[in-house]
Amino acid sequence: MTNEPNFIEKRIGVYICQCGSNISDYVDVEKVREEISREKGVSLAKVTMFACADSAQKEIVADIQNEPLDAIVIASCSPKLHLNTFRGVAERGGLNPYNYVQVNIREQDSWAHSDKPAQATLKAIHLIRAGIAKVSLSEALTPMTIPAENSVAIVGAGVTGMRAAIELADLGVNVHLIEREHFVGGRVAQWGKMSMTNQTGEEIITELYHEVKKRESIRVYTGADIIASKGSIGNFNIQVKIQPRYVEPPCDPESFKNAIEACPVEVYDEFNFNLTKRKAIFFNYHSEFPALPVVDMATCTRCGECLKYCHGIRLDQQEQVIDLHVGSTFLATGFNPYEPKTGEFGYQEHPDVITLQQLKRILELTKGEFRFRNKKIERVAFIYCVGSRQVEGENKYCARYCCTSAIHAALQLRKDLNVPFIYHINKGIRTYGKQEILYEQSSTSGDIFLQFVEDDPPVVETFNDHLKITVNDLLTANMEVTVKADLVVLVTGMVPRLNQELNSILKIPLGKDHFYNEIHPKLRPVETVIDGLIIAGCCQGPRNIAESASSALAAVSKVYSILNHGEIQLEPTLAIVNPGACEWCGQCLVACPFDAIERVETEKGPVARIIESNCKGCGMCTPVCQTEAIDIKGYTNHEVRSMIEAMSG
């Protein structure tokens, strides 16, 4: 701003945290304290073992009240971890929480410069000087309060989404359950028996869907995509485009069956991972809901044959766009199984090389003798970590569920289909928790485990009517072992769903693995940097069903904590405009990623105005303003310049 605030000297307390030894092993904290104690305005400088510990917090509160202090600086770890902790300390001591500044001398100093302790010590001094300069100019700020809409949009109606919808509805929250596909259930609907419980995916989805339908406060939208979103926490305005099913009741099941049989169009069935074919009008088994067929207009020829058998088919239905007003957006968009590249362990080059997800569908479709491509299957070889823990490639992570799922499938092959020879070619088995029981059962039942190292994968080749796999087996001192197999199953991991358009609309943060990124895996495990945007389940990273359900409950708690009071406190560190300096060039409007700036007419002409409920205080608008008419409360140009001067002095 053009008008800088009058400077009033404060009594400042500075606390330098050792963080056990995370900081003090590389930073001479006593030297830092000695230097900082000489700074103008500093009336107290202390070293503390753990600033976040209860005892240290009580000591700081006592210092604020007894010295007394007008402001405090905590030099410790990242503000991402303990900003709210120390704001609470300031408040308990009687200070405005915005007269506290946290300086990061752990992640930004001691950890970054552990090989140069002398320079790390000097850097800590400069960083703390900048914090002192900022807090010297800080003002008492008051958070603003806005009303919160008691409703939530849950994107994704798999296990995580439906579990969360049920719990939120029982807490009195109105739920809009939005599913991109025409059927709910996600990936679990495609699975048969699950590990440990042997409960089927059909049973899980049927139970959840019936619970969802019991609750009037849950509205389910299928064939639906979010196409626009504006607003902020407590007040999001979302537009949803809904593709019609082109089918509506009443029409008896027999008529639908005849209509499907009459359809002349056949395409590969994605539900069965392209192992079988379906018609242009289709309904996938009993595990998908709503129990109403869909016409796939991308493949339908509009020949009219289906209309002869069922009057419930409406090929003239149009897509709809509806507006939803919600207080929070909850993402539970799930995952995709990794699709191997052509030629990866023979995939798509040899028809007897399939993926684990295809095998699981085959197990559901097979009764009696196990045959594949009209050939009796007696030897099955699983190759693990396909699309996970890659030496070359993007998927460096472990997908967690695959080992357990593969071993469970192997036990089904042996027990239900009498397959005598089963090989597990792996980089190391990870059936964590009680799932180790399955590993033991597989080992004692006669399955053979061969282990390879990451940079020496097995080789799959054709040998007469069989496939042969050659592997240097780590368990037999790198002996070269060759096994024959009638069927090779690639145990594929989880990868994120492709949601580029949704990601762009909601501005969702992604991690290095391209899954959605939470603020902190332990302290804030379901929150994103977008306030009110909550994530849960496999869209965050690989998880099994139990872990996804637990994640859903954590997210429910967070959503309810946001909405249950009917109003929300927002950070007061928002953009502010000096109308007298604004010449309205429009650059701030272009730069703002949150639609928080609008043009308004005044007596002097058009100027910028901040929509406070949308503003995040990100500061994108300030550097593009040539007249410095825009500032950020708590991070004004004057404060930032003073920090730079303090660090360079």
Asked if residue 271 is part of any domain, the answer here is yes
Q: What is the CATH number of the domain that holds 432?
A: 3.50.50.60
Residues 278 and 303 in one domain: yes
Do 424 and 469 belong together in one domain? yes
CB contact at 8 A, 330 and 540: no
Question: Could you tell me if 491 and 509 lie in one domain?
Answer: no
Please tell me whether residues 269 and 176 are part of one structural domain.
Answer: no
Contact partners, residue 215, CB within 8 Å, separation at least 6: 165, 166, 169, 170, 175
**One domain, residues 174 and 238:** yes
Same domain for 489 and 360: yes
Q: Report pLDDT digits (tens) over 313-341.
A: 999 999 999 999 999 999 999 999 999 99
The count of structural domains within the chain is 5
Return the structure tokens found at 569.
């406190």
Regions of the chain with pLDDT less than 70: 1-8, 285
On whether both 261 and 395 belong to a single domain, the answer is no
pTM of the model: 0.82
From residue 559, alpha-carbon distances to 17, 331, 563, 566 in Å are: 33, 12, 6, 12
- Residue 314 is assigned to a structural domain of this protein: no
First to last CA, the chain: 24
In a domain, 127, yes or no: yes
pLDDT for the residue 570: 82
CB 606: neighbour CB atoms within 10 A? 14
Q: Is residue 72 a contact partner of residue 136, using CB atoms and an 8 Å limit?
A: no
**Which residue has tokens 């684990």?**
356
CB-based contacts of 560, cutoff 8 Å, min separation 6? 168, 171, 173
CATH number at residue 118: 3.40.50
Domain holding 578: CATH number? 3.30.70.20
- Give the domain range for residue 358: 343-495
Answer yes or no: do 115 and 209 share one domain: no
- pLDDT digit string (tens) for 471-505? 999 999 999 999 999 999 999 999 999 899 999 99
Q: In terms of DSSP H, where are the helices of 171-248?
A: 201-214
Residue 411 lies in a domain: yes
The per-residue DSSP string of 547-612 comes to: HHHHHHHHHHHHHHHHHTTSEEEE-S--EEE-TTT----SHHHHH-TTS-EEEEEETTEEEEEE-T
Residues with Cβ within 8 Å of 547's Cβ and at least 6 positions away in sequence, in order, are: none
Among 398, 341, 429, CA closest to 513? 398
Same domain for 16 and 72, yes or no, is yes
What are the C-alpha distances in Å from 622 to residues 9, 134, 137?
27, 18, 19
Pick from 478, 495, 512: which residue ends a domain?
Answer: 495
Helix locations, 459-516, DSSP H: 500-506
- 540, 563, 586 - which closes a domain: 563
- Token pair, residue 239, equals 């537009």
Position 145 scores a pLDDT of 87
Residue 637 lies in a domain: no
Residue 448, classed as helix, strand or coil, is strand
The span from the CA of 274 to the CA of 166, in Å, is 33
Q: Do 26 and 128 belong to one domain?
A: yes
- Spatial neighbors of 184 by CB under 8 A, at least 6 apart, are 157, 158, 162, 177, 205, 209, 212, 220, 222, 288, 289, 290
**99 and 236 part of one domain:** no
d(CA 103, CA 566): 34
* 465 and 555 assigned to the same domain: no
Residue 70 belongs to what H/E stretch? Answer: none
